[in-house]
Structure 1
Amino acid sequence: MQISVDVHNYMETLVGQVLAKPEFVDHFDHEQLADLACLALSQLRPVYIRHDIDFLSALPEERLVTLKTYSQVAVDAAVGMIVDDRRKQRKDEVPVIFSKQRFDDDIELEWFEKPILKKEK
């Protein structure tokens, strides 16, 4: 069994359907759509399944409508983060501060740093 092949998150399918609508495809580039998908999926509870057809045949229509609504709401919330992207306002002149760690080999280890050794009998 390979999890990435045999099992998938059905919410990815629903978020993909929302993002395939012209209102998103026409207004966002590929990178932004990927960011939207990540942000939306992070807000949703995953629904892991093996086969879409088996899942959908056992799923009540009310629940499917609810899951689709959740997906739409999550994408709409993610749009605000993409539109108001703070990364666009950054300057390339970010100060870099390097710090040098100093280790004193003569200091005794803390109790949580000491290795656990088996006692010899």
Structure 2
Amino acid sequence: MVSNLCSQDKKKEKLCYVYKNIKGEKMKSIETKSGLVIANDYTRIVHGGRGDYIEIDKTQIVETNINIPESEKWRREYGMAYYLEFRSNDENSVKIYYQLRTVSYADYQIGFYYVAVGDVIIKNNGLDKFL
């Protein structure tokens, strides 16, 4: 239906552009303020007791652009840790949590990454000129 509109009506340019770009493509990237891409998309925004966080699944994170600091490696061995702490590989050193256990103050899911909304930039990969 939308593809027919694209071929019939030039006035539908915005709708056509969005349709063609959404179809099977990643629409957002999560970047540090210096431009390092840490995720190719995100799942949702979680509102919790400690602020707003972007939820990222394992297929969306750019693992080569994050690391576990030496001072946080103990969390891998400690069976009671709630999360693993990662940092972005740039001068911003953005904190990224990998959730290991549930918490009472937010709907963080085990097996997902979380980053504070205020620490990163969400880019719409070209769609921001229309949206």
TM range (shorter): under 0.3
TM-score norm. by structure 1 comes to 0.23
Larger radius of gyration: 1
Structure that is richer in strand per residue:
2
Structure that is richer in helix per residue:
1
